[in-house]
Structure 1
């Protein structure tokens, strides 16, 4: 054999000896075929590399030389395999062979390990293809080996059945670690856990045993098939120590036993292990059921910074083990090795995986990419880690390919070192070592930056003394607090409270570390006294959930933002105290002070609900509530920081509500469709639309606004759903509306999603919850009062069927553009306005102005706009284009029906008044200020009002006595209109 010049001198002689031994073993009948392979382009060079780099391949071919001819002739050395090919090949071999299944499996492994090593050492396969192929090989051996074991034991004991369900049971083999992530190395053992769905016993044979005993026998048989070393070698070394209770625990447990163990006794390292858990046998339904029951243990719903402490503890143990065993040369466990890269990825998975579903992945490189996408790590760091990981894995493979040994230790033998360097593409071992050191240094540096103890975690002595039963007011004053005595009393009361004194040791230690840091953060904020006073209820709320304290300890910028936001707004402080999960949002300052656009909101909500099944209603409701609360917090933080003007604040809050409504409608529809099927309708849309009135309809939502909604559907009259439990269309849509209201209004841990008001539907509380389009149109044309058409000015479809939404919008324009008697219209508008003032007890001479209901306030401007649309849209249809007041006023200015100067003045007054009400809402203050403060704005509004309604006011308006002044229909009470004073005060 011509060894080519590509081999270093050190490796030529060993490779030549290996080839000679293979030819000698092949004998005169097979040697010519082997030698003929050398004529193929590049084959001799590839063969030389493999024989120089792997004694295992040389020994395997010496014993079975025909394997090389088979693989080369079939083209398996050049091309990757498709998924499922290995399992199909092994199934055929087992079916047609009379040999013992263990022999078949071992020879099958030899054949494909030869193929995998050949492609890996010659760089014909990328790193992740190699790890995937080895994992596929293990999957095939496990699944088909299990089939044989099950068949033999079922013949003896019968088929296992569930005691509760009566269904046939199966053994679910869960792959852990690298096999679970399809990242198995060339000579890895396989970490497995055995489980089965349900307790019960076997049926159908003379001797019945419990499911536990049956599957224990199956598990032992599978291990005995795969693990032992025989004359043919082994299949895969099996490690069962990751199961509950380790080596002392039962070999097999039911789903219920597994779930109970992890909930009650699961340890942090087991969370790390289960990140990569992947069932490789069993039905799809049982695999999903198993993963669903493990999910809450692995991924916490909140951002879990306790993972950092756990990681530090685990790393300390590993460092000690490395030193004790002298593993500094280990590319997996040594400093800057593979394990540290895995820890970095898994740390972010455990910290944020419960919130960021995209992190709930098994493949390390994919997780690192998500870390960059989510901003957990800089893109440059992720690139360094990914390059280092692939380099280290290639090195690991080259080390293991040498003798098929499970080791990650760098070789000390000169020939093995030369083989490693050559397979890694280096001219000598020194060059390889230098490159390896560079990668390991980078990994170690990034790992240390992630888990290093924060220098701010040790409080300054002066602040540490303040958190005690004898807090010194003078020390607080020295820190910059004005109300030092008051704060000292509050701190002492909290310190001595039963809630704090009953904390367990770990929680108390974290609180004692946290409080001095909080005091310093508040002292450095713009409003120290307010920040501290408003932060203490939050401390009391989270004291027993100390992971939140750890989150803030580990993130000084988040703690500084907490103090700043609490000092700026009691509303935000209250939101954080009642919903501590929102503290997660403080971790990313860029997103905290950036309110997303509508498309980004839709994408984020989809991601947060992607892991949830349709039937997990509670999970969806929790996710929706967190999504809404976190996004509203971002808007508030952005407004307080001056990054969002008023119009944008309302836009963002309206977008959040719209996206939530879209998701609620989709969820309610999916749940009902599962039960009843879908209603008969034309087209592909839902035939259902959510029509928003009031603040949401006008794109002017505030922080505490409820939602005024009307539900409309348009489907075949007399039609039915197409499910097994069929119901008529009208009933389906009524239940759809009810389901939506339930999802929106049910109080949970994070409160309601939104409070819903449906009283603007046709006939109010006495009307149908969901109206047909034709009934809604008939009501608007023939029965609706003027105040209902006023409300219609600020209505728009916000979720549902686009075709139906267009029909509703066309109806709205048609109604608003009807010709009306302007005199009668003016009387009715003024009558309603006087009634509202009477209900709110507002008078012209009040020293304080009610910014909403007062004379010249927000509602006066809204009534002017609504009157203008109803009075003049028949001549100027553009007035009906918009549902928000500002754009309607701009259209009025363009139309000439109101002077441009007046319209601009009204817009300015409206924005200023609304801006102040927003600010007061964040300070939890009522919308009232000294009347003289807005004298100019009030005067502007009242002048326009008087110019429009002078004749009506002069003639007098009907008394607000509940009639229309002529014995006609009763004027709607305050509670029946969209202009309810309680509604406006809330906002």
Structure 2
């Protein structure tokens, strides 16, 4: 209710000033006669205003006062509040932060006295103090009351800042320990016969084991049992199981006083399917034979807390060696990374940005990084073997495994996130890790963390800042220790240091750790600024290399590029300061041979990786202008074509790098969702680049041999995938050459000049060079290899009129001008249009001939020994099947459907679908197969550095192809099965649409 300004009382105004959001309600509460002392005492009002939520604190105080049994008790409470500042701060602090604890105090109005004492032992109680606090509990109900009373004191110290977040978490773990002991004692009293037969140890795991428990959390445990001397083992284990089950019920079941927390034993061997209690030898047998990587990571926090202390200590001593050998397991890093990815993937999409435990930049990222570093380096350094995250992080920093600044930032972020988690859970004592979206909740949490001016804004800013820090340092810390060690390696250093680094590299997937160590030492050793920047870059780069199929190649390539560019001032600065540049470079260098070979021939092209615009393919017109300008500046044809090929090399690197990054994805540039668009972009870019290179070469040859003008007009017509602007990285350039003598020039002189131009172009484009050759293939010309390389327009017209076969009409569907005289090229296209789009379509004889040719090609041209289910060009459902199906539709209906008059396969297929010449589902099946087969061909070239029409046989190369196609390591079989399935469906459509089956 809003009170008009003029009618507001002085109390209302004071309450508003003290921070109450609903002064009217507060004024009504304070009007009770019992609260006269509160209403008139500025000290108490100040104390209420200092709480996280003054309205909530006042309401809780009113309820507590009303719950007192008589006037004397109420007077005692209020007098003590006024006179004793420690109690005032503690009690009101709790009431303003926790509705649940206010409920407890209203039910148990005498428990406020637990907050009165303020002695040294009260500031940091341990298990013994909490055991005394629980000592009077005799059943589950009274245990819950005593537990909440102890919890009240922990929360009071926490919200008042008497303890920090790590101390509060440790106290919560100690309280859990005391509670487990009390519950076990109750279970033993209830079944003395069972207790007499067995020894039972309770091992805390997770946050309880790590002395970093939340206010509300499952308490993870493992039970170990043994028979007492003389007892039957089976009977003893059954007795121990009954005791353990009873303990779990005492803590977990809901009573009139609510519950304490669930006891979760699912971290035991075999999880829920395994026996609740095992002997020590049974535990060891499981861990030695069957345990997964994550189970050893979980055991890092194992700590005996209740039951038979000697047995608990024996258990921890027995499993510890297994924990510290876990990093030596095969696929250790991959297993842990997969586990982390699965956790993130399972977060509901609407919660990922509010999930402070499991989300990116959350608590789990800190714990994940610290534990992984402990498992790797704790084998040789016992100082790292703490079960507590912050203690372990401090030890990592002290030992030089983590930079001090990084450790400080991560410590700050972790403390903030844990404090945030504590405040969220404390309000209603509910298990949650989600940041609330209600402003009132956020305001209370912000104020509880000391943000009083703009709590909502400040909280959002701090949340964003700390999660960003965690996300940035999470991956960096994962690899940093190796580099710190390697950078200090020198001749004569102990074999242990070298071996530790070697083992780490092996764990990351490096096949030649010795060579990798040499590269790392060469890059990062020394005190120069260059070495310092490399030490900053390499930890993350190693991880990105390790995420590829060939980490060794990535690291070797990086060393070569760094050796070539290390003295240039911009190179390392680019990688350090441009967020995407270093990751882009790592992805490109470790993805195969093609792109790194291009880069190493001109390392300055690494500059393209620092800007997203640098990876955008250039359009044909500006590209051709650059090539022609470079040709114009050169002396002689060979230098001119070398310049054109240099541009081509750089642009091939740009395109291939963009392709790899778009397919693999980076943190800043996720993988492309539309792989069809990615394929089209590559095809267009490579085709335009080829056209520009040919145009530049033509200009260079004409200028060198004839000056400004050739005796004959000359044009180059793209054919096949070149004409369709669908070239892959390893494609030849299929072309036709057409010329027309200039006025007054003899036909033989013109033909001689035209043929000389073609011969010289082909020679220059294939000269041995650091640049990849460009093969010009004119075998699609009339009469094939036996026909003249160049014809006049009239000669083409005469041939096509008299001798043209249906396959030539089909080939001409891809004809498109690419270089030379534009008018002559346009005349050629006008000449062939009637052949490729015949009026009224094809006759039955022509259709039968096309089908016969296709069947013959399938039986004769597939290479001997090739798997027809995996050959991308001629195999089942591959490029040929799709393209011939589409081209038959073009030949039959192109005369009537303008959309079919395109040289591009996918455009023609979409036009046929739009014209209802093929069903939408069938078109989608063909399109998917064509895109996939094209991507496989591109991938093979990118990975192997040479063209191929089938999947590689080498395992590492095959895995790299899979990585390009979006498959994780170990999914090679899935990739091949998917390819066969997709192309099998395409073949079925082709047989129906093309053969009429």
Shorter chain as normaliser: what TM range?
0.3 to 0.5
Structure whose CA Rg is larger: 2
TM-score by length of 1: 0.44
